[in-house]
Structure 1
């Protein structure tokens, strides 16, 4: 995982006229971004140096980057994913994981039958949901509970056969 990047936020547009940007957050809120001094601007090869960041009180954030001096420059970043290297993230406690650790894992049933790969991890409020894509392109979702997903590691995710959409 040493070369893996994790997306923590995306620029949704400019905020004001002085070069601040609005961010959509993909983590545990604005505090999860504060420890990072710089971000890779995905797909552009640029590094953005964080100067200030604050909550927008709507679930997102407002940030200023040293390299962005005006509204035009801020608007040009719209849609840019802000990533950090996986190893820059805090160590996890027992039972915790980063959603990115599950993406693209092969999925097998509890009897060992290959059924596809993890293509997304969602959370609609109650629990995390794993979306699995089968080889034929069809997708189905499974709750990330002990009954549905009895085990997983960095090499595969095991789903109880009763939860597999056939």
Structure 2
């Protein structure tokens, strides 16, 4: 069975020639390159519809994409609000110390001394570095910067992240 990762959401149509406006949920611009294969999960269904990108351009904060064989507004209108996915089998290899969001979200965060902090619930992209929003069992949130001075070890296999909290981080 194929597994999928969300890369964006179709928020509207654009013009009459079948372009859609996408809010992306990926750091990889190449997801929308011409020839890329994506999957639309139409609202209210469990079906993934394979589509091929035939044009892509940026417009304001949106990606404008047109898919093969969907050449007018009537072809794409039904996909407004639908999510876009990529197959996990088409993931781009990452370098050392780079992780996909799905690998980090849900990981248990502990200090080097073994104190449990909580689980990563969300990742915020700040431009300088990612910040991992970690929530304790008591509901307290901690913002863990993904920087070398703080994050000491990430084990995707064990779903654990070991940190050395800088002063004030856990207050």
TM-score (norm 1): 0.82
In structure 2, the residue matched to 1:33 is: 32
Unaligned runs of 5+ in 1: none
Unaligned runs of 5+ in 2: none
TM-score (norm 2): 0.80
Report the alpha carbon displacement of residue 104 of structure 1 after superposing the two structures with TM.
0.8
1:82 to 68, 81, 84: 84
- CA distance 1:140–1:4, shift in 2 (3 Å): farther
In structure 2, the residue matched to 1:12 is: 11
For residues 125 and 146 of structure 1, the distance between their equivalents in structure 2, rounded to whole angstroms, comes to 16
Moved more, 121-130 or 156-165: 156-165
For residues 90 and 81 of structure 2, the distance between their equivalents in structure 1, rounded to whole angstroms, comes to 23
Moved more, 58-67 or 130-139: 58-67
Q: Residues 11 and 81 of structure 2 are in contact (CA less than 8 Å); yes or no, is this contact kept in structure 1?
A: yes
Count of paired positions? 165
In structure 2, the residue matched to 1:135 is: 137
For residues 24 and 57 of structure 1, the distance between their equivalents in structure 2, rounded to whole angstroms, comes to 11
For residues 119 and 69 of structure 2, the distance between their equivalents in structure 1, rounded to whole angstroms, comes to 38
Moved more, 44-53 or 145-154: 44-53
